Amino acid sequence: MSLDFQQKLKHYRISESEYQKICELLGREPRSVEWALFSALWSEHCSYKSSRAHLKKFAQTINPTVLNAAGENAGVVDLGFGERIAFKMESHNHPSFIEPYQGAATGVGGILRDIFTMGARPVAIADYLCFGETEAARMPALMDGVVRGISGYGNCVGVPTVTGQTNFDSSYNQNILVNAMAVGLFRPNDRIALSSAKGVGNLVVYVGAKTGKDGVHGAAMASESFDENSEAKKPNVQIGDPYFEKLLIESCLQVIQEGLVVSIQDMGAAGLTSSSFEMASKGQVGLDLHLDQVPLRDSSMTPEEILLSESQERMLLICEPSKLEKIKAHFSRWGLDASPIGTVQSERRVRLYWKTELLTELDPDLLVENAPIYQREFKAWSFPRKKEKIQKVKSKNLPNHLMEALESSDHASRKPIYRQYDQRVGAMTAQGSDHDLAILRLPDSGRGLAVAVGCRPSLMKVDAYLGALDAVIYPSLQMAVKGAKACAVTDCLNFGNPEKPEIMSEFVASVEAITEASKILHAPVISGNVSFYNETKGVNITSTPATGLIGIRQDVERIPSDLFENEGDSVFCLSFQAVQVGLSEREFSGQLNLEKVAGFQKVLMSLGSSGLLKASQMVGFGGLGLALAKMSLKGVGFESDLSWSEDDWSEDQLYRALLVTDRVQDFELLLERELQAAGIEEDCEFHELGLTGGSQLKLGSWVQISVEHLKSQHQNGLKNYFEGV
């Protein structure tokens, strides 16, 4: 093979075996733009070639509440009362590491388009971020850039960022994770738009921002590991404009709700290529596309660049010719172009024209359906129990342990981050990022829509299967203690190099675990995203299957607080005993019994919605003492005279809830009844810890710290990284 040929393969990121397959499918060698088409659509990012075989398992979680599971941009879950939710989470890890502001901003923009392209109005954004150690190279700048990017984009489009999670760990030092989730609402009479091209003779219409050279080869870039030349990839990062996105949201929702479009799809990864070929493939039709008709920002662009551009804020829609004028009028009212660039054909061929020249003619299925599927090598999960430190705090002495933890990047207040995000635009926010659980009020039924993200990387390090179970279970329990029931799950599976069996084994175990946890909690997995090759110079990130959950609460009244509110309330701890965790290293005893976990969730839901709780909180890693300290941060202290050891106050367990009430008898009666009904009396331990009140945190003879002191410690941990906030 010639050197030129090898370089071409490298340039288009096509392997030799893939090249052979392309030749077989075409019956000849690929020509001109066909190289670019295969490069884009067969990239890991677009084709899911390493994960597809495993992701099928999620189908087991689907139940009748799911309106459309497969094939669309996001699944839709029916909450009753005509209210339906579309939601999805996506990664923008590679671009964010190269250029944090634009990478994060366009991550938000892209996931929003996935939602409103279906006809749902975006009502909430959540983020899931993993940074390296704060002292790692470039890290303060990356943190600042990512947060500013999310803030700059989300605030301007007018969608509140209501919750999130930020982790810090050395395994992300050279590959940060930026995952964004968007939640969209269909109100009772809203239409759901689909993305399959239909109707021979219908028009293919390009709407939104003009096409530029930004993001060319972005999808292929996102499917590679990083090396020393990552900086050179800057031109592959897209540039976003939230103002255009806002105009696009309003105009697209308008034409969808007025029934003017047959189908619509956003131009995301691999831009026009993926949207056109996927729409044609799904609709089992062909398309004639005239690339010279695409509105351009830069008239020197070649057909190949037009096909691969990932310019933001663009959509492709199919409409009947008679509707075109109305559609154009709607878009022009919002100052946007709507340009017909092609037609739907009966013969299943996508024909790409440049002026009068036919560049190529391809069966869309060759690119979409016939993409290679790899059976990457993996091992069945054998539950290796790695001894990993969960708590990074060094101090054993309890007061020092608490003070150190409160200021640490793991536990310090996230306010310097979320204070930069609009929490309330849309006027649906009952609880935003300043609460443990985000809750929006649904305008038609008045019910609460809970939004949460999950996945604790420290647990993933210990046991990927358990960590992935926990990624679904923990946010479900966080919902439960506030009286909300988890209804559906999306995921964003961030992993290293899938060609390495140990990484692939963790991936497969994670998919299985998420499937099992979702099944048992009756919370179907309705959408998802995979991000592989989170690897830099051979170092892989901690496998991080981030999840996003939505849940329902019957109303938005009497939601238990996160903090101690009153003096003299009784504080109880309910712990689920199945899995024990040691102080600094995991010492497992037994597997999680999922049926019993589901029972535990039910018990917490009953308590959380009973109106008996003044406050409630799931106890995260860091121990009970730390959880109690966090609950005191409003200013109401706590005192326990239990004669527990220092270890008792600081050791970790997987699932414990702190429950605060002033109606002890009613509470205990209800608890007993619910534990019995769930059949988990034997699996739970129950302690009365003490009473709220005073201005100090007092834990036996060990701790006596003023709440003000705890507060300033907690507030300051991350503040320096976001100067001026």
Partner 1 sequence: MTKVGVLRFPGTNCDRDVFSWVEARGFEAEYLWHLDLFEEKKYDLLVVPGGFSYGDYLRSGALAALSPAMKSLRRFASAGGPVLGICNGFQILCESHLLPGALVKNEGRRFVDDWSELEVVNENSKFGAQFKKGQHLKLPIAHGDGRFYAPADELKKIYDQNQVWLRYVNNHNGSLGGIAGIMNEKKNVAALMPHPERAIYPWMGGQDGWGFL
Q: Contact positions toward partner 1, by CB under 8 A? A: 148, 151-152, 155-158, 241-244, 246-247, 334-335, 418-427, 429-431, 441, 556-557, 722-725
Q: How far is the CB of 142 from partner 1 (least distance, A)?
A: 17
Cα–Cα distance measured from residue 628 to residue 634, given in angstroms and rounded to the nearest whole number: 12
Contact between 253 and 112 under an 8 Å Cβ cutoff? The reply is no
Q: C-beta of 560: minimal distance to partner 1 in Å?
A: 14
Return the bridge partners of 9, or none.
Answer: none
Could you tell me the smallest distance in angstroms from the CB atom of residue 304 to partner 1? 31
Closer CB to partner 1, residue 115 or residue 279? 115
C-alpha 95/C-alpha 107 separation (Å) is: 9
Decide whether 484 or 678 has the Cβ nearer to partner 1.
484
Q: Is the distance from CB of 141 to CB of 148 less than 8 angstroms?
A: no
User: Based on CB atoms, which residue is closest to partner 1, 425 or 670?
Assistant: 425
**Three-class DSSP category at 58:** helix
Place of tokens 């830099």: 536
Q: Which is nearer to partner 1, 71 or 335 (CB)?
A: 335
What is the nearest approach in angstroms of partner 1 to the Cβ of residue 248? Answer: 11
Q: Please give the Cα distance from 241 to 307 (Å, whole number).
A: 20
Q: Which is nearer to partner 1, 62 or 425 (CB)?
A: 425
Choice between 452 and 559, CB closer to partner 1:
559
Q: Which is nearer to partner 1, 596 or 614 (CB)?
A: 614
CB of 240 to partner 1, least distance (A): 12
Cα gap 86→231, rounded to integer Å: 36
Q: Which helix (H) or strand (E) holds 453?
A: strand 448-454
30 vs 122 by CB, closer to partner 1: 122
Nearest alpha carbon to residue 550 among 112, 122, 87: 87
The H or E element containing residue 449 is strand 448-454
Question: 217 an active-site residue?
Answer: no
In terms of Cβ atoms closer than 10 Å to its own Cβ (0-12, 13-18, 19+), residue 658 is buried
CA distance linking residue 313 with residue 241, whole number of Å: 7
Q: Which position among 11, 54, 92, 687 bears the catalytic label?
A: 92
CA dihedral 524→90→54→48, nearest 10 degrees, is 140
Residue of 45, 330, 401, 435 marked active site? 45
Maximum CA pair distance of the chain?
86
What one-letter code names the amino acid at 638? F
- 3-class DSSP state for residue 287? strand
Q: How many CA atoms lie within 13 A of 702 on its CB side?
A: 21
Q: Give whichever of 590 and 724 is closer to partner 1, judged by the CB atom.
A: 724
**Cβ contact 523:476 at 8 Å:** yes
Smallest distance, partner 1 to C-beta of residue 98, A: 23
Rounded Cα distance between 389 and 392, Å, is 7
Can you tell me which residue has the tokens 């220092």? Answer: 646
By CB neighbour count within 10 A (0-12 exposed, 13-18 middle, 19+ buried), where does 522 fall? middle
We find the least distance from the C-beta atom of residue 550 to partner 1, in angstroms, to be 18
Query: Any catalytic annotation for residue 92?
Result: yes
**Least distance in angstroms from the C-beta of 443 to partner 1:** 8
Q: How far is the CB of 425 from partner 1 (least distance, A)?
A: 6
* Contact (CB, 8 A) for 153 and 92: no
Residue 43 Cα distances to 445, 489, 499, 648, angstroms = 43, 26, 14, 51
Q: Containing H/E element for 180?
A: strand 177-186
Strands (E), 563-652: 570-580, 613-618, 638-640
> What's the min distance (Å) between Cβ of 722 and partner 1?
7
| Residue among 45 and 714 whose Cβ is closer to partner 1 | 714
Cβ-contact 530, 51 below 8 angstroms: yes
Smallest separation, CB 489 to partner 1 (Å): 26
In this structure, are residues 103 and 146 in contact, taking their beta carbons and an 8 Å threshold? yes
Rounded Cα–Cα distance for residues 545 and 119 (Å): 28
At residue 323's C-alpha, the angle toward residues 322 and 324, to 5°, is 95
Nearer to partner 1, 25 or 725 (CB): 725
Least separation, in Å, of the C-beta of 220 and partner 1? 31
In the numeric block, which tokens belong to residue 318? 């199919």
For residue 336, the minimal CB distance to partner 1 (Å) is 9
Phi-psi region of 71 (alpha: psi -120 to 50; beta: other; left: phi over 0): left
At residue 691, φ and ψ (nearest 5 deg) are -120, 150
* Residues 266/113, Cβ–Cβ less than 8 Å: yes
Question: How many angstroms separate the CA atoms of 517 and 469, rounded?
Answer: 6
Write a three-state SS string for 352-397: EEECCEEEEEECHHHHHCCCCCCCCCCCCCCCCCCCCECCCCCCCC
Record the tokens describing residue 560, joined without a space. 């238990």
- Closer residue to partner 1, CB minimum distance, 14 or 556: 556
Q: Which is nearer to partner 1, 280 or 559 (CB)?
A: 559
Cα–Cα distances (Å) from 29 to 18, 360, 380, 382, 709, in that order, read 12, 12, 39, 45, 71
Task: Give the residue numbers annotated as catalytic, written as ranges.
Answer: 45, 92
